[in-house]
Amino acid sequence: MPVEMMIRKLRLHSELPDENVEALRAVVTPVKNMPEDSLIVREGDLSTQCCVIMSGFAYRSKVSETGKRQILSFHIAGDIPDLQGLPLKRMDHDLTTLSPARLGFINHDALERIIESRPALARALWRETLLDAVLFRQWIVNLGTRSASGRMAYLIGELRQRLAAMGLVANEQFDFPITQSKLADALGLSVVHVNRVLQAFRTEGVLDFKRRVVTLRDLERIVELGGFESVEEDGGRA
C-alpha cells in the first residue's frame, strides 16, 4: 500500500484519529505511473486535484524572466507537493517528475468534503503546507548565506534527513536520480561549478554522486559544510 508513506508523514507531524486517516485514504485515486521529466502541473494552472508521491521524485520550479530556471524544492515519497493548490488554486510554479514516479491523486472537491467535518485533518493539512514553507525559508538561508560547497552539502543533508524519515536511506546511501544541470538550477550555480564541487567532494571523500545514487562518506563533514541542523523533529508540535 503505497499511500502509507503519505499517512506516515502526516502522522509524523500531527496527531490524527484513525477515522480521519481512513477517510483520507479513501479519496486517493489509484496510482498512475509517470516517466521522468513529466510535467504534473504548470505555473498558472488552476488545480482541481493534488498529487501524492507514492514513489520516485518530483521537483517544483519557476523560470525567471531572465530565462533561468530555479528549482525550488525536491519531493519524495509521501509528499503532497501541490497541497497548497487546495486553498490557492492558481499554481505559482511548475511541478515535474525528476524520476519515473508513481503518483496518486486527490480530487479537491472530495478532499474539501472530508475535511469539512474533520477539523483535525484540516489542521493537519494546513500544518503540512506550512512545514513546506519552513523548508523554503531554510532554502533562502542556504542560497543567501552559503558558498557553493556549503549549498551542495546542505541540499544533500536535508534530502538525507527527509528520506531517512521515510525509511529510504540505507547504509548512508540513497537514490537521487538527478543531473548536474538540475542541481545547478536548484543551487543557483553553473553546471560547470556544480561539477567542480562534486569532484572535490569525491576526491576529498566527503560524498559520492555516481549513477543516480548518493553515498555519504563523511557525514560529519557534510553536516559541517552544510551547517545542517535538524528540523521538524517534532514537526513543530506544541
Partner DNA sequence: CGATATATTGACAGGAGTCAAAGAGGGTGG
Partner DNA sequence: CCACCCTCTTTGACTCCTGTCAATATATCG
**What residue ranges bind DNA (CB under 7 A)?**
147-149, 179-181, 188-193, 195-196, 198-199, 211
Which residues are registered as beta bridge partners of 41? Answer: 95
Q: Which is nearer to DNA, 117 or 199 (CB)?
A: 199
Stretch that binds a copy of itself, among 34-42, 88-96, 174-182, 208-216 (CB under 8 A): 88-96
CA distance linking residue 80 with residue 50, whole number of Å: 7
- What is the dihedral sign for C-alpha 8, 14, 17, 22? negative
What does 116 bind: DNA, a copy of itself, none (CB cut-off 5 to 8 Å by kind)? a copy of itself
CA distance linking residue 168 with residue 161, whole number of Å: 10
What is the size of the binding site for a copy of itself (CB under 8 A)? 52
Query: Does residue 171 belong to the site contacting a copy of itself (CB under 8 A)?
Result: no
Closest approach of a copy of itself to the CB of residue 204, in Å: 19
How, if at all, do strands 39-41 and 32-34 pair?
A: unpaired
Query: Does residue 131 belong to the site contacting a copy of itself (CB under 8 A)?
Result: yes
CA distance linking residue 187 with residue 216, whole number of Å: 19
Q: Which is nearer to a copy of itself, 43 or 175 (CB)?
A: 43
- What is the dihedral sign for C-alpha 144, 197, 78, 112? positive
Closest approach of a copy of itself to the CB of residue 67, in Å: 9
Closest approach of DNA to the CB of residue 154, in Å: 12
**142, 37 contact by CB (below 8 A):** no
Query: Does residue 64 belong to the site contacting a copy of itself (CB under 8 A)?
Result: yes
Please state the separation of Cα 6 from the chain's center in Å: 12
* DSSP conformational letter for 237: -
SS3 content of the chain, % helix, strand, coil (to 5): 45, 20, 35
Q: Give me the residues that bind a copy of itself (CB under 8 A), please.
A: 46, 60, 62, 64-66, 68-70, 72, 84, 87-90, 92-93, 116, 119, 122-123, 126-127, 129-134, 136-146, 150, 185-188, 227, 229, 231, 234, 236-238
